[in-house]
Structure 1
């Protein structure tokens, strides 16, 4: 009886994780649902003093409410709380992850089953490639076409954005990551057009967002 119990313990330890266990993670490109019903996409995960945070569009997060949930719309699984919204002037928000049952890797969901590891942040340059890791429609890439772009909203002007020819699908949850390989470049804040016909996307530089918020990639 003791031998059988020991054998069962060994087999349990060697068994693969239960289905869905590896999915208890929030990555860049994933969607979070605010308590007001507004949904926004995580751009990148970052850290400070051992705590984990999400960076996302400030204009999107501003109207989402203070509490964030993960999963299907209407889920009751709380994942975090709004730490700070930087909008207008700049356009990003910091969400403090509070659920210890999830992990928050410095990765991007791609929809292909293989996340992209993010290892650094950098300011882009004209002509550099930028891609969107979109968990629902795959990866779309284009070139940086303009720097120091300003966009006016009723609430005020957002300065120092950059612009690319990479398309963004309309109707998707707001925000998301712009990257080149493992380098984080920008937080999607606005777009026009669509992928079948082409489009333009605007980004908050993630390097400046990290500096302003006192965060770093890990």
Structure 2
């Protein structure tokens, strides 16, 4: 079977887009110095979120066991670092000198990690998730709408056994599912019909070949992927991890001459350059692009999250994924694999799954890009292939409600542009999922949730297609 070669500009497919980022929310100062550098009180520094993330990593190494997590306070533009209560005067001084705002807390990271291990051993129930919340200094445990009766009792009793002030539990109105789609739609033919996911970020594989990252459950669902629902395959899965320690796939373009630019396609000739892989920081603003729901923004709420999805192959099983980023950014069926990124061009995550929708909200989980790159040996960017022809300039008035924000099916328009981060990201880009039809699922009656690695099966509305 001959493979279709992607045109030079069509390969400039980075997943999500930021044609519209909330102006008021992202106009952060670039200052990376203390508010009063001459002060002997070592006032907390005013930081960009990316700089706060770097400082947090440095302080974790510096403070050792006294470090109990950190988060970015977007209101004050400061990094807040938790240290264990007690005789930590030296630790506090060091953290303040580094530019952080210090807060003494009761729960150490070791204690919270041990609590998470107890939850894993005693409460690995489909529809549950947990992550460390540094703002509360507790484990944030979430149960979706399917966790009822004996399972709910089991979960709450396990949380209670952790001790007072160790964890919180809340119910989500939706159902945790894996998603499929993000910025640019990609398609594959599987046993149950057509599967749709989304490309995350273009990368260069360790052997120098052009490739892209997407969700692991997409790579497990199908081996060959196309840029259109009925088109010939253009890329083949090289590595895929799901479930387990992550949810990511490395997919290599079949044509080694493909020029896959390191940018985010915003549609209508607009694009945002992706310049670096960035670790998520709790409290920072992030943006997600989806071919179903378009552009949405929100906040990172937890790191190293564990999510227990209902197994897609075993009605009585559970697919547990660890090491994810938790956010309050909405997503829906058709958004899996797509990009999570920052307004300054940092690649943060790949859409994995979640609950809720973009009307009522919910929780969404993402595979960290840094971990995916390390595991696959890939590097972010086009490896010198170039981004194609000259880029245009995006209309500063563009908003996330414009059709441009919906993205194209693997590729973009013939011109790449530069998105203006001063536009607003408050609205969805419209429903781009019509080409795929109804989602088919293994007994999944409600397709409105944020997940949807819905394999075809009994009770599906339309067995010819699947939207993840």
Q: State the Cα deviation string for residues 157-209 of structure 1 (Å, max 9, x = none).
A: 211111111111x2325321100020000111002222222222100111010
1:166 corresponds, among 329, 341, 365, to 329
Q: Which residue of 2 aligns with 1:56?
A: 214
What is residue 143 of structure 1 aligned with on the other side? 299
SS at match of 2:379: coil
Q: How far apart are the structure 1 equivalents of 2:8 and 2:240? A: 32
What is the root-mean-square deviation of aligned Cα atoms in Å? 2.0
Q: Is residue 111–residue 135 contact of structure 1 (8 Å, CA) maintained in 2?
A: no
Aligned pair in 2 of structure 1 residues 160, 198: CA closer, same or farther (>3 Å)? same
Preserved contact between residue 40 and residue 61 of structure 1 (Cα < 8 Å): no
Provide TM-score, normalisation by structure 1: 0.81
Q: Which residue of 91, 94, 105 maps to 2:261?
A: 105
Aligned to 1:11: none
- Distance in 1 between residues matched to 2:247 and 2:184, nearest whole Å: 19
Asked if structure 2 preserves the Cα contact closer than 8 Å seen for 1:41 and 1:173, the reply is yes
The answer as to whether partners of 2:349 and 2:367 remain within 8 angstroms in 1 is: yes
Alignment of 1:4-43 (within 5 A): 22-23=9-10, 25-28=12-15, 29-36=183-190, 37-43=194-200
Offset at 1:98?
Answer: 1.3
Question: Aligned pair 1:93/2:249, yes or no?
Answer: yes
| Preserved CA contact (<8 Å) 1:32 1:39 | yes
Q: Is the 8 A contact 2:286 2:297 kept in 1?
A: yes
The aligned counterpart of 1:175 is 337
Q: Which residue of 2 aligns with 1:6?
A: none
Give unmatched runs, 5+ long, in structure 1.
Answer: 1-19
Measure the CA separation in 1 of the matches of 2:212 and 2:357. 26
CA contact (8 A) 1:112 1:138 kept: no
Q: Which residue does 1:68 correspond to in 2?
A: 225
Question: Following the alignment from structure 1 to structure 2, what is the Cα–Cα distance between the partners of residues 208 and 110?
Answer: 25
1:198 aligned to which of 361, 369, 376: 361
Equivalent residue number for residue 126 of structure 1 = 282
The structure with the greater share of residues assigned to strand is 1
SS at match of 1:125: coil
Provide closer, same or farther for how the CA distance between residues 137 and 52 of structure 1 changes in structure 2, counting only shifts above 3 A.
Answer: same
Q: Gaps (5+ residues) in structure 2?
A: 1-6, 16-182, 312-317, 382-468
Deviation at 1:146, TM superposition (A): 0.9
1:49, distance to aligned residue in structure 2 (A): 3.3
| CA deviation map 1:77-126 (0-9, x unaligned) | x2111101111111111101113575311111224531111110111111
